Amino acid sequence: MVGQEVRRVNLVPIGRFSKMTRLSVKALRLYDDNGLLRPAHVDPSSGYRYYDIEQASRAELVKTLRAVNMPLDQIQEIVVADNSEIAHKQLLVHRQRLGAQLAAQERTLTYLETLIDQEEGIMSYQVEVIEEPSLQVAATRVTTSKSRIANDIGTGFGAIMKAMGRSGVSAAGSPLIVYHDVIDDEADGDIEICVPIGSKITADASVSARELEGGSMAATVHRGPYDQMPLAYRALTGWIAEHGHEIAGPPREVYLNDPRTVAPDQLLTRVVFPICPETG
């Protein structure tokens, strides 16, 4: 009985615990639902949550990890395991994530400076009209969103390479993506991930072999991070309109080097639009 009385003395209601830890009641309820910070006692008749004063240390840990935008599932691994080695590993993973996010934000700021400083009518892209032959490609088509597109592209290329490996087929050119729809914050859309091949492959549920149409194309090369590609699109579509052409199909991005082996500012991407001859 004495032990139970001591435990009850250490218990405080959720409102008081909220003031102690500077965590809102809403946040405490969320962390309860996610298993990050369970109440020490829940009154079975009223449903009121009570916390042990000693739980303030875990509350501070959760609050600090959330302050650096660590995902809840990673925080759960740390607090549930209660193991310094696991915690250290998760912190290293999150540090890498934050570093990548910081680099992306710095590239975005550079991109914004470019947009602000760029004079109207000045175009730093060289556009040419080329005749592209038809290509045999291994392809997979997916519906994606702006938030999922990077993962979907990686998964798509992985599926294609596996299918090619099973068929003993090697790539016969640079990988590319056909953007069948405009994908932005408001709309999802279809992309077709392709790898040129020199011989047929055995198709499966997700990967097929097909002929990618050739023809007249307006093309330019973008040097730099993928998230600055809109500059190339603006230059290319502006050139097409100024020269009296009509866009005749969805754009393609051809990846001329490997993001795993070159820095973001050294990436080379050929952006291509199928076009019709001059209408004038």
CATH of the domain at 268: 3.20.80.10
Question: Which pLDDT score is estimated for 252?
Answer: 97
In this predicted structure, what is the pLDDT of residue 192? 97
Given pLDDT bands bounded at 50, 70 and 90, which one contains residue 280?
A: very low
Among 187, 212, 237, the domain-final residue is 212
Quick count: other Cβ atoms within 10 Å of Cβ 60?
13
Helix (H) or strand (E) holding 137: strand 135-144
Domain-terminating residue out of 192, 212, 232: 212
Q: How many domains does the chain have?
A: 3
| pTM of the predicted protein model | 0.62
| Domain boundary pick from 196, 212, 228 | 212
The domain of 35 spans 2-89
Question: Which carries the bigger pLDDT value, residue 264 or residue 7?
Answer: 264
> Domain for residue 239, yes or no?
yes
Q: Which long-range contacts (CB under 8 A, 24 or more apart) does 34-40 make?
A: 34/72, 34/76, 35/76, 35/80, 36/62, 36/72, 36/75, 36/76, 36/79, 37/62, 37/79, 39/14, 40/7, 40/11
Nearest to 171 by CA among 195, 144, 206: 195
pLDDT over 50 (residue 202): yes
Side chain identity, residue 244: G
Q: Per mean pLDDT, which range of 8-12, 54-58, 153-157, 238-242 is the poorest?
A: 8-12
Amino acid symbol at 170: S
114 vs 228, higher pLDDT: 228
State how far the Cα of 81 lies from the Cα of 183, in Å rounded to an integer: 40
